[in-house]
């Protein structure tokens, strides 16, 4: 399973970041204030590592400490280096640093890209290894619980859009550094704008009308499971406006669009739309019109659901099913999952709030090109307490000091402690 996990990460984390690296730019990727504060609190002469540093946005903070960054994505690392930072290319699971050499370590929005619990634990342990006793680590991961929206599952794919629009409200504030599409005024923007002095939660700027939007993201089954087959679900939670009315009792028939067709559709949905959110935002939302357009297109094929086989392509690697997990989820959410063993024949069922389709087993991944166009990134979003528990139960050498929710991220600050082995 570790091979499956690392393949998933290669396809849906590493290669995506390599692709989107040129589009990262600092104006839309500012430092989180609490992270900045953590760095500023370090004693002069400290050595701090930013593991998963991306383009190095934290590496300039605090001139009195020595910071080094590392990441697995070469273009991002090169970008950080060109800004004058000390950076290395490496893997978070095998850090090339000697034991106990850092006074502090940052892991900001990194381990949520790791596709199994075991790997997430390993990553934390690796960072703990490089921390000196008494040193502190700050870990940020995306939260499943959000202020205004809710992921229904923890393992998801989120598309990337390089051109998130500014909301009209933000434009009025003279923040228009980015090009905005003409009809963006009506579209939903979950874009967070950050400056060093204030944080603006995009949600506050959205009018109520805009809030009733389609939300679109893709679920994968967790890799942490016992069964072994290819299955992916795409779920759309909508408060309204699918063209075809859906109620709890209705079911749609099994759909088998080709993965190419699906991918094309999804690609066009996301690439043509300038409405999807900033990559740091947790949700993608589409304006009603966009979805209706999509539905118009797809209703031509008699297909009223968002085709899901695309995600087939996300896994040329089987994603094991977590049947019992799914059942728990389904009882919670009124969401019926299908046992993947007979995934090829399973009917699709659409509930009031979610539509899910199972990916068929037999298709081979031919459309990786189109897939990469949609740049789906894998995330395991964390429940409240999950990160803390992970550390408490599996990482003896770290002692959790603080846990808090910071703008849709769960954060833990922990201290390295001496572990006495008997």
Partner 1 sequence: MKLLTHNMLTSHVKGVTKGYPLIIKATEVKVNELEFNSQFVSRMIPKLEWSALIQAAEWLGHSQDLPSTLIPDYENDEEFLRKVHRILLEVEVLEGCLQCPESGREFPISKGVPNMLLNEGE
C-beta of residue 199 within 8 angstroms of C-beta of residue 192: yes
Q: How far is CA 30 from CA 10, 166, 199, 355, in A?
A: 26, 15, 10, 35
Question: Helices marked H in 233-308 — which ranges?
Answer: 259-271, 288-299
Angle between helical axes of 2-9 and 117-130 (0-180°, round to 10): 80
CB of 415 to partner 1, least distance (A): 18
Length, in residues, of the chain: 422
Q: Count CA atoms within 13 Å of residue 317 on its CB side.
A: 19
C-beta of residue 37 within 8 angstroms of C-beta of residue 93: no
CB of 106 to partner 1, least distance (A): 15
Q: Which is nearer to partner 1, 95 or 242 (CB)?
A: 95
Angle between helical axes of 288-299 and 259-271 (0-180°, round to 10): 150
C-beta of residue 288 within 8 angstroms of C-beta of residue 214: yes
Q: Which is nearer to partner 1, 90 or 169 (CB)?
A: 90
Q: Which is nearer to partner 1, 26 or 99 (CB)?
A: 99
Q: Which is nearer to partner 1, 5 or 242 (CB)?
A: 5
CB of 316 to partner 1, least distance (A): 17
Q: Which is nearer to partner 1, 103 or 309 (CB)?
A: 103
Residues engaged in binding partner 1 (CB under 8 A): 6, 43-47, 64, 66, 68, 70, 72, 77-78, 81, 86-91, 94-98, 101-103
Q: Which is nearer to partner 1, 90 or 413 (CB)?
A: 90
CB of 70 to partner 1, least distance (A): 8
C-beta of residue 4 within 8 angstroms of C-beta of residue 221: no
CB of 90 to partner 1, least distance (A): 4
Residue with tokens 């634990």: 121
Q: How far is CA 60 from CA 122, 208, 280, in A?
A: 28, 39, 20
Q: Which is nearer to partner 1, 40 or 101 (CB)?
A: 101
CB of 254 to partner 1, least distance (A): 38
CB of 20 to partner 1, least distance (A): 19
């Amino acid at each position: 399973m570790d091979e499956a996990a690392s393949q998933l990460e290669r396809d849906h984390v590493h290669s995506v970041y390599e692709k989107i690296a040129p589009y990262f730019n600092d104006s839309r990727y500012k430092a989180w204030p609490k992270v900045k504060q953590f760095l500023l609190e370090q004693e002069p002469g400290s050595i701090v590592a930013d593991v998963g540093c991306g383009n190095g946005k934290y590496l300039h903070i605090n001139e009195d400490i020595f910071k080094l960054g590392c990441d697995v994505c070469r273009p991002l690392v090169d970008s950080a280096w060109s800004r004058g930072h000390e950076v290395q290319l490496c893997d978070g699971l095998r850090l090339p640093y000697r034991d106990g050499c850092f006074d502090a370590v940052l892991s900001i929005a990194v381990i949520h890209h790791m596709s199994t619990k075991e790997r997430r634990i390993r990553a934390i342990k690796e960072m703990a290894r490089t921390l000196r006793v008494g040193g502190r680590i700050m870990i940020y991961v995306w939260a499943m619980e959000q202020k205004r929206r809710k992921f229904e599952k923890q393992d998801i794919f989120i598309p990337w859009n390089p051109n998130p629009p500014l909301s009209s409200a933000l434009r009025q504030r003279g923040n228009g550094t980015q090009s905005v599409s003409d009809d963006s005024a009506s579209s939903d923007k979950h874009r967070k704008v950050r400056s060093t002095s204030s944080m603006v939660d995009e949600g506050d700027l959205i009018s109520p009308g805009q809030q009733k939007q389609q939300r679109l993201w893709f679920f994968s089954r967790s890799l942490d499971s016992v069964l072994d087959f290819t299955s992916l679900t795409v779920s759309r939670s909508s408060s309204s406006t699918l063209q075809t009315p859906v109620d709890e009792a209705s079911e749609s028939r099994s759909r088998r669009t080709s993965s190419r067709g699906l991918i094309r559709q999804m690609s066009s949905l996301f690439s043509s739309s300038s409405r999807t959110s900033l990559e740091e935002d947790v949700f993608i939302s589409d304006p009603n019109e966009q979805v209706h357009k999509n539905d118009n297109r797809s209703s031509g094929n008699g297909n009223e659901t968002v085709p899901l086989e695309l995600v087939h392509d996300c896994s040329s690697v089987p994603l094991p099913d977590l049947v019992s997990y799914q059942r728990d989820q389904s009882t919670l959410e009124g969401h019926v999952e299908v046992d993947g063993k007979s995934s090829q024949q399973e009917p699709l069922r659409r509930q009031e709030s979610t539509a899910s389709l199972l990916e068929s087993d037999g298709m081979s991944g031919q459309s990786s090109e189109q897939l990469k166009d949609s740049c789906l990134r894998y995330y395991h979003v964390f429940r409240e307490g999950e990160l803390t528990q992970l550390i408490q139960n599996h990482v003896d050498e770290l002692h959790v000091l603080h846990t808090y929710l910071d703008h849709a991220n769960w954060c833990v600050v922990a201290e390295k402690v001496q572990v006495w082995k008997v």
